[in-house]
Amino acid sequence: MQETGMMEEEAPRKTDAALAPKNYDGWSVGDFEAHLRALKAEIARAEAAMAGRKSSMAAADALFRKP
């Protein structure tokens, strides 16, 4: 496991302002498209992090499994 992953786990969780609820009044179609692209990118990043975590857990389970 990378050391940076450990640091992220220990860091307090922060609410990302870009993901906070928005007031959509006055937004153009382009604004919505850009916002949705950013949200989808964050979802992909979170899914990749979760997959990595599951992989690490599976490896640890296999290593410490009782015979």
Read off the pLDDT of residues 7-66 as tens digits, 9 standing for 90 and up. 455 555 666 676 777 789 999 999 999 999 999 999 999 999 999 999 988 888 888 887
Residue 46: per-residue pLDDT:
96
Domain tally, the chain:
1
- Structure-token pair, residue 3: 């050391």
Distance CA 60, CA 55 (A): 9
Residues 6+ apart with CB under 8 A from 27: 35
Residue 16 in any domain: the answer is no
Residue 18 in domain = no
Do the beta carbons of residue 29 and residue 9 sit within 8 Å? no
Does 4 fall in a domain?
A: no
Q: Would residue 38 count as lying in a domain?
A: yes
What is d(CA 67, CA 47) in angstroms, rounded to the nearest whole number? 32
Q: What is the average pLDDT value for the chain, to the nearest integer?
A: 80
- Host domain of residue 50: 26-67
Does residue 57 fall inside a structural domain? yes
In a domain, 21, yes or no: no
Residue indicated by tokens 């919505």: 32
In-domain check, residue 31 = yes
Residue 59 included in any domain:
yes
Q: What is the pTM of this model?
A: 0.60
Number of helices (H), then strands (E), in the chain = 2, 0
